[in-house]
Amino acid sequence: MAERQQFDLVIVGAGFAGMYMLYKAREMGLTARVYEQGDDVGGTWYWNRYPGARCDAESLAYSYSFDPELEQTWEWTERYATQPEILTYAQHVADRYDLRTYIHFNTRVASAHYNEAVNRWQVTTDTGEESLAHFLIMATGCLSVPMVPDIDGLDSFEGERYQASMWPHEGVEFSGKRVGVIGTGSSAIQAIPVIAETAGDLTVFQRTPNFSVPAANASLDDEWVDAFKKNYREHRRYHKLGLSSGFGDLEIEPRERTPDAETSDGLTDEAFDAIFEKRWQRGGAFFLGGVADTLINETTNRRAAGFVHKKIHEIVKDEATAAALCPDSHPIGTKRICVDTDYYTTFNRNNVHLVNLRENPIQRVTPTGVQLVDGHVDLDMLVLATGFDAMTGALLAIDIRGSNGQALADKWAEGPRTYLGLMMAGFPNMFAITGPGSPSVLSNMMVSIEQHVDFIVDTLSRMQAKGEARVETSLQAEDGWVDHVNEVANATLFPEGGSWYLGANIPGKPRVFMPYAAGVGAYREVCEDVVANDWRGFVFS
Ligand code: NA7
């Protein structure tokens, strides 16, 4: 057996979570090793290089806040940053803080077993490395395990085949080709308009239509950015504390993003539409926040959905295509709302066709295309934009065992259970960054990542100060938190969405609403209260 290297921390993943954790660990004088599957930093922004990939949170908000100098000197060029620009930013951060020295790339963690006798995590990798870590930090991302659909004959396809989230680094040529895209989630909705520009012919295979709102993306104006940056600290404060789930604010003056109305009750159709029209024009996922109870009140939700349906019918010329693009099987916002550039108008192009799989399902993929119940679509290229095994997929892909050899997969057989999304009872000294049970994917991930890392750092500092060697959460605290997360979710329309938030996109995955739906401000208050009460729910020894 190879000699085990010893570290204070082993961090799994070198995306934005792993990089910030590493930075803070170094600042504390701790030894750390990061293992990363890719050959560079960036996590989700390293892998997701499909055409049109960009963030759906605004660039000035979707960035680290920990170093005021970094945020002042880095220059974003567009309201919503493209994947290449975000990746360049991640690389810049790695260089600026000299992080690469501590990261082993092209290395996948295979197992992590807690050894009670020595109070250490034994970590093994697919490259044969073995290490012993006092703390294990899972920075594995919420959307990092691609979902490959179980469609008959998929492997028989003889044309080019790509998964949106595993896009080739050298790029892909569409011109003149007959391209098929399966899926109409955020990835597809970003990719379809770009592919359509050069493809000879594009067929979109849609099972469930999604709600999408215009991004109103634009180049950032230098003067505007300078004015915004004068108040950057104050903007960040709103992102962290506000109702806005940590997303950005287009305006120069920092302020809380508030809804235009508390409820749709008593609003005339004209007044209701005026609220949403303003937000439609302004662009972005803020659209949904027009009326405060959109995700709670069925009537408000139905009216907001109706507004988008009207927009789709106004934009898409072919009546049958417009009708097929209108989502009618889930409340708006209960699947992640998409933010697009020219998605609906793309269906007015002569080279773009929509196949409504609900009426004409896929029977199988053939060597030359897709066989539908009614007809065969000949293809040169097939793009799978079919999503991810979200939130738990990456954690469960590693053989993680806690006290008494308990496997995380067994503990989570009925769905994920955590305290605050940070720790799991029976898994001492192991933290998950943006784990299930925290705001994570319902928030600006940067805000949530920084908050979790800061919480972990505070916990480690406390342990250093008190000479404590082990921290875990109690079953009681975990049970209470799981009940609370469910209670919050059940007070909303989210559970009706049939989304990946619930695990509903993965056959056999337990249906549990995984993120914490109370918002980043409320969640931060809970965490601060936990710390103020001597880390209530955590047990130190
Ligand atoms: P999503 O949002 O999970 O979308 C996946 C899409 O793929 C969705 O339209 C699915 O339809 C479709 N899908 C999945 N399996 C199939 C099969 N077998 N046949 C036809 N269609 C299928 O993933 P994205 O990557 O777009 O976005 C994920 C997040 O990344 C996004 O929210 C942003 O946060 C970034 P379904 O709805 O299941 O009928």
**Section 202-220 average pLDDT:** 97
The finding on whether 207 has its CB within 6 A of some atom of ligand 1 is yes
For ligand 1, atom 12, the nearest C-alpha belongs to: 183
The pLDDT tens digits of the residues spanning 509-538 come to 999 999 999 999 999 999 999 999 999 999
**CB of 103 within 8 A of CB of 34?**
yes
CA 15 – CA 32 distance, rounded (Å)? 15
Q: Residue with structure tokens 């009140």? A: 297
- Residue 532 has a pLDDT of 98
Contacts of 490 (CB under 8 A, 6+ apart): 513
Residue 210 alpha carbon, nearest atom of ligand 1: 9
Portion of the chain with pLDDT greater than 70, in percent: 99
The finding on whether 181 has its CB within 6 A of some atom of ligand 1 is no
Chain centre to alpha carbon of residue 196? 25
- Record the tokens describing residue 212, joined without a space: 């999408």
Q: Which residue from 62, 83, 145, 186 has its CB within 8 A of the most atoms of ligand 1, so it is best to mutate?
A: 186
The pLDDT tens digits of the residues spanning 110-166 come to 999 999 999 999 999 999 999 999 999 999 999 999 999 999 999 999 999 999 999
Distance 431 CA to ligand 1 centre (A): 28
Q: Where are the beta strands (DSSP E) in 328-428?
A: 338-340, 352-356, 362-366, 369-372, 376-378, 381-384, 399-401
For ligand 1, atom 17, the nearest C-alpha belongs to: 149
Distance 500 CA to ligand 1 centre (A): 8
**Section 205-218 average pLDDT:** 97
Distance 184 CA to ligand 1 centre (A): 6
Q: Per-residue pLDDT for 262 more than 80?
A: yes
Q: Per-residue pLDDT for 451 more than 90?
A: yes
CA 180 – CA 185 distance, rounded (Å)? 15
Distance 159 CA to ligand 1 centre (A): 22
- Record the tokens describing residue 539, joined without a space: 């047990």
Q: Per-residue pLDDT for 286 more than 90?
A: no
**CB of 208 within 8 A of CB of 411?**
no
Residue 208 alpha carbon, nearest atom of ligand 1: 39
- Residue 249 has a pLDDT of 64
CB atoms under 10 Å from CB of 270, counted, come to 7
CA 352 – CA 338 distance, rounded (Å)? 20
Q: How far, in Å, are 64, 338, 385, 447 from residue 180 at the CA level?
A: 37, 20, 10, 36
Q: Which residue from 55, 377, 386 has its CB within 8 A of the most atoms of ligand 1, so it is best to mutate?
A: 386
List the end-to-end C-alpha distance of the chain, in Å, as a whole number: 31
Q: Which residue from 48, 187, 328, 434 has its CB within 8 A of the most atoms of ligand 1, so it is best to mutate?
A: 187
Contacts of 29 (CB under 8 A, 6+ apart): none
The finding on whether 353 has its CB within 6 A of some atom of ligand 1 is no
The finding on whether 383 has its CB within 6 A of some atom of ligand 1 is no
Q: Per-residue pLDDT for 243 more than 70?
A: no
For ligand 1, atom 26, the nearest C-alpha belongs to: 185
The finding on whether 387 has its CB within 6 A of some atom of ligand 1 is yes
The finding on whether 47 has its CB within 6 A of some atom of ligand 1 is no
Distance 18 CA to ligand 1 centre (A): 26
Residue 504 alpha carbon, nearest atom of ligand 1: 38
CA 173 – CA 169 distance, rounded (Å)? 12
Residue 207 alpha carbon, nearest atom of ligand 1: 39
**Section 193-219 average pLDDT:** 98
**Section 235-264 average pLDDT:** 84
Q: Per-residue pLDDT for 2 more than 60?
A: no
The finding on whether 339 has its CB within 6 A of some atom of ligand 1 is no
The finding on whether 500 has its CB within 6 A of some atom of ligand 1 is yes
Q: Per-residue pLDDT for 406 more than 60?
A: yes
Distance 64 CA to ligand 1 centre (A): 28
Q: Per-residue pLDDT for 241 more than 90?
A: no
Distance 206 CA to ligand 1 centre (A): 10
The pLDDT tens digits of the residues spanning 85-108 come to 999 999 999 999 999 999 999 999
**CB of 179 within 8 A of CB of 384?**
no
**CB of 538 within 8 A of CB of 466?**
no
Q: Which residue from 49, 142, 328, 505 has its CB within 8 A of the most atoms of ligand 1, so it is best to mutate?
A: 505
Rounded to 5°, the CA angle 289-526-439 comes to 45
In the sheet with 376-378, reading across from the earlier edge strand, the strands are 362-366, 369-372, 376-378
DSSP secondary structure, 176-231, as one string: T-EEEEE--SHHHHHHHHHHHHHBSEEEEEESS---EEE----BPPHHHHHHHHHT
Distance 57 CA to ligand 1 centre (A): 19
Domain positions in the chain are 5-41+99-145+389-540, 212-384
CATH topology of domain 5-41+99-145+389-540: FAD/NAD(P)-binding domain (3.50.50)
For ligand 1, atom 33, the nearest C-alpha belongs to: 186
CB atoms under 10 Å from CB of 528, counted, come to 13
The finding on whether 385 has its CB within 6 A of some atom of ligand 1 is yes
CA 122 – CA 293 distance, rounded (Å)? 47
- Residue 255 has a pLDDT of 84
Contacts of 191 (CB under 8 A, 6+ apart): 50, 51, 52, 53, 164, 181, 383, 385
Contacts of 19 (CB under 8 A, 6+ apart): 41, 90, 93, 94, 97, 99
The finding on whether 330 has its CB within 6 A of some atom of ligand 1 is no
Query: What's the Rg (C-alpha) of the chain?
Result: 23
Q: Per-residue pLDDT for 3 more than 80?
A: no
- Residue 256 has a pLDDT of 82
- Record the tokens describing residue 170, joined without a space: 């050298």
The finding on whether 352 has its CB within 6 A of some atom of ligand 1 is no
Give the model's confidence band at 398: pLDDT under 50 very low, under 70 low, under 90 confident, else very high.
very high
The finding on whether 184 has its CB within 6 A of some atom of ligand 1 is yes
- Residue 1 has a pLDDT of 46
CA 314 – CA 316 distance, rounded (Å)? 6
Q: Residue with structure tokens 């049109």? A: 52
Residue 186 alpha carbon, nearest atom of ligand 1: 26
Q: Per-residue pLDDT for 367 more than 60?
A: yes
Distance 185 CA to ligand 1 centre (A): 4
**What's the one-letter identity of residue 324?**
A
Pairing of strands 5-12, 130-138: parallel
For ligand 1, atom 22, the nearest C-alpha belongs to: 183
The pLDDT tens digits of the residues spanning 313-352 come to 999 999 999 999 999 999 999 999 999 999 999 999 999 9
